[in-house]
Amino acid sequence: MQDTINRLNLLSKKEIEQEYLKIFGYFAPKGYTKSYLIKEIVWQEKYNRLPNDLQNRINNLVAEYEKTKSVHIKKVKKFEVTVGTKFIREFRGEKHEVIAIENGFKYKDKTYKTLSAII
């Protein structure tokens, strides 16, 4: 990674923009500085690309938005849990147990409205 940074730092901004075009398949956005272009290229090299199906979904959403100025995303089914369901996890050697109750979740004798509220 440091080799890539060193190599790119030796190039002109125009040469880095050409590198960006080769890597990403489209021109670098106007206004990006040389250092920001380098960061983008290094990130791409380090983390690679999104999975093709995810990238295609994103591309389709962007195209839909550009046409309609709105996006229709399939509604996610609400997470429903049966009362009495136990969630048990071990974290740092300690067992944690959460129980679904009528209006939320019970953890360590406290009631929470959502699972994400339990920290």
For residue range 12-41, list pLDDT tens digits in order: 999 999 999 998 888 998 889 999 999 989
**Which two tokens mark 68?**
């309609």
Backbone angles phi and psi of 106, in degrees to 5: -115, 130
Instruction: Calculate the average pLDDT of the chain.
Output: 86
Buried b (16+ CB within 10 A) or exposed e, 3-13: eeeeebeeeee
The residue that leads in pLDDT, 89 or 54, is 89
Provide the H-helix boundaries in 11-106.
Answer: 13-24, 34-47, 52-68
Q: Give the pTM.
A: 0.42
